[in-house]
Amino acid sequence: MATRPDATIARTTEDLFQSLADGSIDFGVTSIDDWPLHLPYGIALAAVCERQDPLDVLLTHPPLTQATLPAGARVCVNGSARAAQLRRYRPDLIVVSPGHAVLEHPADAVVFPARALGRIDPREWNVGRLEPEILLPPPLQGIFVVAMRESERATLQSMRAALHEPGVGAAAAAEAGFRSALAAGPSATLAALATWSDESRGGGWMDLAVRILTPDGTQMLEGVTSERVESEQHGRDLGAALALDLVGQGALDLLDLSAEAES
């Protein structure tokens, strides 16, 4: 079960799927932050791996926090859900996206995934953790999976037995179920985080928190639920039920506003 000599790291999920389909690689490990709602024909998830830190941090220099940043400070944020939540929490800040504008006018702070802190020089930046009460992460952040061709059944089963984390799989299913029930793509202004308050091998209590916002952060729907979850399907059902509850409160109207802002 080895990759072929010419296998490369896929830059996007589309690259990964294509490389699997044409036989360029035998399996691939990828983040599922931008995972599609449906897998291509013939592609399967062999395993959901141990979750890395799903939260974000605030990088500043000199040391500041999200509460002590001065009014008008420029904060570089990647992703619509992070930007909307920061605008809601601190409407006096200037939220900018990564790009040339940041190079021309350096940001005072950067919102950065905690799982990627290994790339940061700690001598140059002060690192402050952003708790989910302030910035709930986008669905599936920090979750990595092993993808394979569905036809490789024996190898797929052995990979799953060796690497699959059932608790992370159920959490991923809950967050994905929330997004799927809304038929929302990766760019939608959604946030979701499933955590375990009491996890055991046979199941446990899962806490699921979700948010739907308008891009400017002025409108937000929030849902929180806790339930004993015994399987990945149960987790998916929990996420879908919470999504439908928010639909009854006007979630689709907020998603329509997000789509209009993108267009």
pLDDT value, residue 175: 95
Estimate the crossing angle of helix 232-247 against helix 166-181, to 10 degrees: 30
Higher pLDDT, 136 or 24: 136
Its pTM stands at 0.87
What span, in angstroms and rounded, lies between the C-alpha atoms of 135 and 219? 15
Question: Each residue of 3-52: pLDDT tens digit?
Answer: 333 344 455 788 888 899 898 889 988 888 767 767 889 999 999 999 99
Find the angle CA(26)-CA(43)-CA(184) to the nearest 5 degrees.
130
What span, in angstroms and rounded, lies between the C-alpha atoms of 15 and 28? 10
Question: Each residue of 146-169: pLDDT tens digit?
Answer: 999 999 999 999 999 999 999 999
- Percent of the chain topping pLDDT 90: 63
Higher pLDDT, 257 or 53: 53
What are the C-alpha distances in Å from 69 to residues 45, 99, 188, 212? 42, 22, 27, 25
Q: Mean pLDDT of all residues in the chain? A: 87
Question: Each residue of 203-235: pLDDT tens digit?
Answer: 689 999 999 999 999 999 999 999 999 999 999
pLDDT value, residue 14: 83
Higher pLDDT, 259 or 134: 134
pLDDT value, residue 61: 83
Strand partners, 75: 95, 109
What span, in angstroms and rounded, lies between the C-alpha atoms of 50 and 200? 15
pLDDT at 201 over 90: no
What span, in angstroms and rounded, lies between the C-alpha atoms of 77 and 188? 15
Task: Provide the CA 34 distance to its chain's centre, in angstroms.
Answer: 7
pLDDT value, residue 4: 39
Residue with tokens 């830059």: 11
Q: Of the given ranges (71-85, 186-200, 218-232), which has the lowest mean pLDDT?
A: 186-200
What average pLDDT score do residues 64-85 get?
93
pLDDT at 183 over 80: yes
Label residue 247 by pLDDT band (50, 70, 90). Answer: very high
What are the C-alpha distances in Å from 24 to residues 42, 148, 172, 262? 15, 12, 28, 35
Task: Provide the CA 41 distance to its chain's centre, in angstroms.
Answer: 24
Q: Do residues 195 and 207 lie in contact, with contact meaning Cβ atoms separated by under 8 Å?
A: yes
pLDDT at 1 over 60: no
Number of other residues whose CB lies within 10 A of the CB of residue 235: 28
User: Would you report the helix, strand and coil content of the chain in percent, each value rounded to 5?
Assistant: 30, 25, 40
- The two beta strands, 94-96 and 74-76, are parallel
SS3 state at 75? strand
